[in-house]
Copies of this chain bind each other. A is one copy, B any other.
Amino acid sequence: MGYVAPSTGRVIRAVLFDTFGSVVDWRSGVAREVSVFAARHHVELDEWAFADAWRSRYQPSMEPVRSGAREFVPLDVLHRENLLVTLTEFGLDPTGIHDAEIDALNTAWERLDPWPDSVEGLRVLGEQVIVGPLSNANLALLLHMAQRARLPWTVIVGSDATRAYKPDPRAYRNVAEMLRLEPGEVMLAAAHNGDLRAAGTAGLATAFFARPTEHGPAQTTDLRAEGTWDVVCDDIVDLARRIAEPGAARG
C-alpha cells in the first residue's frame, strides 16, 4: 500500500526534495570554489562572506520571473547575473576576468557536497517511491550535481521544465502533473518551513528535517518545524524509515 500522508489522505508515490541546503551543503561548497578562484586570481577575500552575498541575491533575482515581469530564464542565467554583481561588491571588476573563468565559477553550484545522510537516505527511499529534486535549479545544474555527488535520483525535473520558480504554486503542481500524479500523492521534503508552507498550499504532502548549519554556525532560522507537516524527522535516512511501509522489510 505505502505511506498515506495525513494532510492529503493519499498514498505517497514520489518524495521530491528541496536541494540547496536540504540535500547539499551549498555554503561550504560555494566557499570552497570561491577560495580556489580567489587563489588563482591572486585576490584576497572572505570566501564565506562571498558565498553568503552571492546566495543572498538568489531569492530576489527570481522575483521578476515569479511576478511575470520577466520571461522565464534558467537559474544558470540568474546565478551568473548575481555573480557579476557580487564580484563587483567584493571589489573585483568582472570585465577584467575572462568569460570562461566566470562561467567556471558559476558552476560552483554543481560542485556541492551532500549532507552525510543524503545519499544513503535517497537510496533507501528510492526503493519505495520516486525520488527527485524539486528545486529552482535547472536540469543541467541538477544533473551535474547528481553525477558528482552520486545522488541516486529516480528522475530529475528541473525548473526549466516546469518553467516556474518556487514558491509559485505552479512549480509544485507542474512537476506532479509531469509525473502524472495528483499533488496529494507527492511529498516535498525540505529543511525550509517557507518552502513547505507553499507546497502544502499547492496541495502537496510535506516533510521537514533541520539543517542547522546550512547558513553557518550562527544560524537562527529553520532550526525546527514551524508548521504541522506530515513528517518531522531528523534527516533523510530517518525520513526513509518513516515512509517505509509498515511491516515492510527495511534496507
List chain A positions with a Cβ less than 8 A from chain B.
76, 130, 138-140, 143, 147, 154-158, 160-161, 178-180
Contact = CB atoms under 8 A, between A and B. Distances in A.
A140 B175 CA distance: 10
A139 B139 CA distance: 13
A140 B76 contact: no
A160 B143 contact: no
Nearest to A181: B140
B161 A154 contact: no
A130 B140 CA distance: 11
A211 B140 CA distance: 32
Contacts of A138: 178
Contacts of A156: 155-156
Contact of A161 (B130, B140, B161): B161
Contact of A154 (B143, B178, B179, B180): B143
A178 B155 contact: no
10 contacts: A130-B143, A138-B178, A139-B161, A139-B178, A143-B154, A143-B155, A143-B179, A147-B154, A160-B161, A160-B178
Given A147-B154, A160-B161, 13 more contacts: A76-B180, A130-B143, A138-B178, A139-B155, A139-B178, A139-B179, A140-B178, A140-B180, A143-B154, A143-B179, A155-B156, A156-B156, A161-B161
Nearest to A139: B178
A14 B158 CA distance: 18
Nearest to A158: B178
Return the 10 tightest CB-CB contacts between A and B, nearest first.
A140-B180, A161-B161, A139-B178, A143-B155, A140-B179, A160-B178, A155-B156, A140-B178, A139-B157, A139-B179
